[in-house]
Amino acid sequence: YARSDAGLVAYAVHFQGQSNAVFPSGGALAGFAEGAQRITDAHAEIGRLATAFANGVNAVQAAGDDLLGNNGAPMFAIGDPASQLTLVLDDPRGIAAATTGAGVRDNSNLAGFETLRSSGRFEEGVSSLATANAAALSARTTVAEAQSAMRDSAIAERTAAVGVNIDEEAVDLIRFQQAYQASTRVIQVARETLQSILDIR
């Protein structure tokens, strides 16, 4: 078992100096590998969305002037991983609302943020990612429940076919014991009767 820096899971069998990769097609091992793959893919997608968002916002900032008439400074710094965004512009006067050279009373550059929100589709990307993972989890849960039901049914069938019910066996044992005692009594009475007949002279 090995986990990469990205979080992916891999399996290998080592025997007599030989190593062979193993790719489970079902069960818990396949579930661990698939879960790790989904988490890694989700991290990559979140990183892509975060990078695109930060670069887009910073580009809109760079296209305008802030309240002091300066060119807009970057609003976000992209971290490592990219999903770790840092807000580097904490002064609201630094928002580049005005188009470059239009003066501090202009706010036409703000439309760039709205355009970025629509074209970037960042909220839609996050919602799609969450929905896809929720759907995958629901599907796997349904399969797991169905397989558990089939397993329980198979165990019940096997138990019914070859299993031993202790309560039923105890009742049968008592019944057979009583039958044996009754048979013993019948034999004893028959022996006594036969002996009585033989004793008549």
Q: What angle do CA 163, 166, 169 make, to 5 degrees?
A: 95
pLDDT tens digits, one per residue of 1-39: 888 888 888 999 999 889 999 888 888 888 888 888 888
DSSP assignment of 18-63 equals EEEEE---SHHHHHHHHHHHHHHHHHHHHHHHHHHHHHHHHHHHHT
- Give 73's pLDDT tier (boundaries 50, 70, 90): very high
pLDDT for position 201: 62
Cα–Cα nearest to 83, from 53, 37, 45, 46:
46
Cα–Cα nearest to 108, from 53, 44, 65, 161:
65
Cα–Cα nearest to 69, from 96, 33, 29:
96
CA 96 vs CA 10, 47, 56, 119, 199: distances in Å:
48, 25, 13, 19, 131
pLDDT tens digits, one per residue of 122-143: 889 889 988 988 898 888 889 8
Instruction: Measure the CA–CA gap between 89 and 200, rounded to whole angstroms.
Output: 127
- The whole-model pTM stands at 0.65
Q: What angle do CA 189, 194, 198 make, to 5 degrees?
A: 150
Residue 11: strand, helix, or coil? strand
With a CB cutoff of 8 Å and minimum separation 6, the contacts of 37 are 8, 9
Mean pLDDT of 160-166: 72
Which residue would you say has higher pLDDT here, 174 or 104? 174
- Give 163's pLDDT tier (boundaries 50, 70, 90): low
Q: Residues of the chain with pLDDT > 70: what percent?
A: 99
Residue 190: strand, helix, or coil? helix
